[in-house]
Structure formats: structure tokens, C-alpha cells
Amino acid sequence: MAHDWQHGLDEGIVTDFKERMTYGDYLQLDRLLSSQTPLSRHHDEMLFIIIHQTSELWMKLLLHELKAAIERIVKDDLSTAFKMLARVSKIQAQIIQAWDVLATLTPAEYMEFRDQLGQASGFQSFQYRMIEFYLGNKNPQLLQIYEKDPELLSQLTEALHAPSLYDVAIGALSRAGFPIDRDILERDVSRPYQAHQSVEAAWLTVYGDVKRYWDLYELAEKLIDIEDWLQQWRFRHMKTVERIIGFKRGTGGSSGVPYLKGVMDQRFFPELWEIRTRF
């Protein structure tokens, strides 16, 4: 009788999968790994496709966590929301690191297959748009991009009209007894949020008495983490684009680097940044 060490298997390892589910079955790897279909014969197009596909997978998980965190904050279950928001930040770190891999693509290599993209662009990413809507960067005009797909359009429209992560955080301030202006609490959440003095005053109080308002203080810091990571993602995006195509226009028609520099000025949680100067 042969010993397990002779063929490299530990005792008890299952090898008969005729009637059992395998690792590949569970993860549907046949579908996943057959989804990379370059349109050119250039070696580096595979890199381009896989980087963007894996980023979309991370964004799917990020949205899963953000949606659940919003639901928990509405129910004042902040401790559960904190775990979810901490995971969001870790996911963001993974997505940021992907730019380092893509940055190994040189201008000459990218130009070999760039024409194959047509007008396809990351700007059209449905999931990235959902993330921005969840964080409060609402823009109804962007829905036009998704009119081709009624199902995606419906999901984005729902997210546009739903309270963002910051909206529910402000709601938590109100339920804690802070005098948030009624115009803020009853505002049209499909419009971009504008900073308000009553919200800033509430956060200043929270940061001024951390022990008393520990949960709200921790919530605020989780939001800062998320926006900080998002801005780092935007910066790495901008620098990677500049490194590969310089100041050419993007495939989707944007001005490219100038556009990406402009969006870095957007803030999702303005009062939480402003109080750092005023505190």
C-alpha cells in the first residue's frame, strides 16, 4: 500500500469529484475565466481587460457592503455598519493597487489596441456610477449613458433617488438630538448635497466631546477614510492615464487628464473636512 507522502497527498484529501461540487464549480470558473476576449492580437490587451474586470468585481463587493451599511445606519446599528465600512476601505486599497499593475503598460503598447475600444471608457462603468450615487455625488444627466440597458437604468434611477451614505449619517445626527435644519432632512436627495451650517455645527460638537459621542465620532472617521481612499484612487487613475496617454482625449470623449484632475476637487462629506480647519 502506497503511503500518502509518496504521491504528495495528505490523508483525508478528497480526490473523487464525480458526484461532488469542485472548487471550480462553486466559483463558476469556466464562466469567469472565459470572459477575457481580446479584440486584437496584442499581448498587452489581456492585461488591460483583466485589470478592469477585477476592479469591477471589487466594486461589486464594495457596493454590497455600502448598501448594507446604509441600511444599518438607518436602523442605528452603527457597530455593524462600522465593520462594513472598514471593509469598504480595505476594498478601496485593493482597487488602488491595481493602477500600479496597469501602469506597466507603455504608451506604445496601449496604442497597439486602443482603437479596438471604440468609445468604451471607464467613465461608463455602471458600478462606479452606483458608488458615486451611494456616496452622494448625484447627477441625473449621467443616466443618459445607460438608456441602452433598461435594467441598469432602473437600478441607477433608484440609487439616484435614494438617500446616500452621508444623508443617512446626517439622519443619525438628527436622531441623536442635534438640531439639523429641516431643509436638509427633507431635501431632494436626488440632487448633489450642499454643505450646511447646522450639519457642520453638529460634527463640531461630536469632535469636541468624543467620549460622549463616540459612535458618531467613529462614523465620521469611517466616512473620512472612504473619501480619502476614493481621492487616492482618483489620483492614481489620473496619473496612470497621464503616464500612458499623456493629455490625449479619453476614449469616451472626455478631455482625459484635465477632466480627471477636475473631479478630484469634488467632496462627498464637506463638513467633515471643513471642521478640521475650524476645530
Q: Which residues are annotated as a binding site for substrate?
A: 48-52, 110, 114, 251
Positions at the binding site for heme: 237
Q: Which of these, 195, 219, 198, lies nearest to 207 by C-alpha position?
A: 219
Q: How far apart are the first and last CA of the chain?
A: 75
Dihedral (CA of 42, 47, 51, 54) sign: positive
Which residue type is seen at 49? Answer: I
Q: Which residues are annotated as a binding site?
A: 48-52, 110, 114, 237, 251
C-alpha 89: how far from chain center: 9
C-alpha angle 185-189-60 in degrees, rounded to nearest 5: 125
At residue 136, φ and ψ (nearest 5 deg) are 110, 0
Contacts of 99 (CB under 8 A, 6+ apart): 233, 236, 237, 239, 240
Percent helix / strand / coil, the chain, rounded to 5: 65, 0, 35
Distance CA 126, CA 143 (A): 10
